[in-house]
Amino acid sequence: METVSTNKAHGGVQGVYRHASAQTGTDMVFSVFVPEHAPGAKLPVVWYLSGLTCTHANVTDKGEYRRLCAELGLIFVAPDTSPRGEGVPDDAAGAYDFGLGAGFYVDASQEPYAKNYRMWSYVAEELPALIGENFPADMARQSIMGHSMGGHGALTLGLGLPDRYKAISAFAPIVAPCEVPWGQKALGLYLGDDPAAWRRHDAVAMIESGARVSELFVDQGEADQFLTAQLQPERLEAACAEAGIALTLRRQPGYDHSYYFISTFMEDHLRWHAARLG
């Protein structure tokens, strides 16, 4: 693992790191904030998954999480959203919603994407092992959150690995990718035409098929330009009500899809996670 940069912040260390990923076959970059802590202490880990077009840098630069993580004693990990590098296949037309910056947190089964686009296994298996080996992380206390496509990733990873994550939350998540254009494009090209493969990466479909967690926390801006066509939080609301999952869905008047929205409510999410991480 190579250290790209470190900076002191709120008494802790904000680092950016690079490593050669066995899952994606590329170098991957991620950021980690480690708060000040006693020697030998192990700290809980909050994972943050970013949205379309983003890298680790978006939340690292604009998420305004370090003060709270320092106060609450939380390690904050932000992976990239896709493999990158020479030879990694992209959308032929260079579209923003597929390919580079848009891995959708799935393991692709279709060519030419299957070799590199293994973001589920990267986030669920490879990167946690690296974090556990190189940082003062208590891997028995992990939680996960994300934004937009990353909110989709947080929900599906959380529902798929319910014994791992002590808390799951999201900002403006894609809750039912099987039913909306962003998801239909990405799941079709990455996973093929098998609807069962799609449903394993759709939070609403997973709940309908029996996936269970005790509670979820979601913030959604009412002025979000993608609310009606791509996000549709009412689908998650209905699925959770039917399944008996306690969903806190806050509709925030006037807020859009940007990091102005995310940074405004980041404190609420981190305090909610910290209370459940112990």
Is 257 tagged catalytic? yes
Structure tokens at 89: 């296949």
Phi–psi pair at 148, nearest 5 degrees = 60, -115
Please choose, from the candidates 199, 205, 212, the residue with its C-alpha nearest in 3D space to the C-alpha of residue 161: 212
Active-site hit among 56, 152, 201, 257: 257
pLDDT in tens, the chain (278 residues): 999 999 999 999 999 999 999 999 999 999 999 999 999 999 999 999 999 999 999 999 999 999 999 999 999 999 999 999 999 999 988 899 999 999 999 999 999 999 999 999 999 999 999 999 999 999 999 999 999 999 999 999 999 999 999 999 999 999 999 999 999 999 999 999 998 999 999 999 999 999 999 999 999 999 999 999 999 999 999 999 999 999 999 999 999 999 999 999 999 999 999 999 98
Active-site hit among 147, 148, 152, 269: 148
Active-site hit among 143, 152, 224, 273: 224
pTM (predicted TM-score): 0.97
**CB distance 247 to 45 below 8 Å:** no
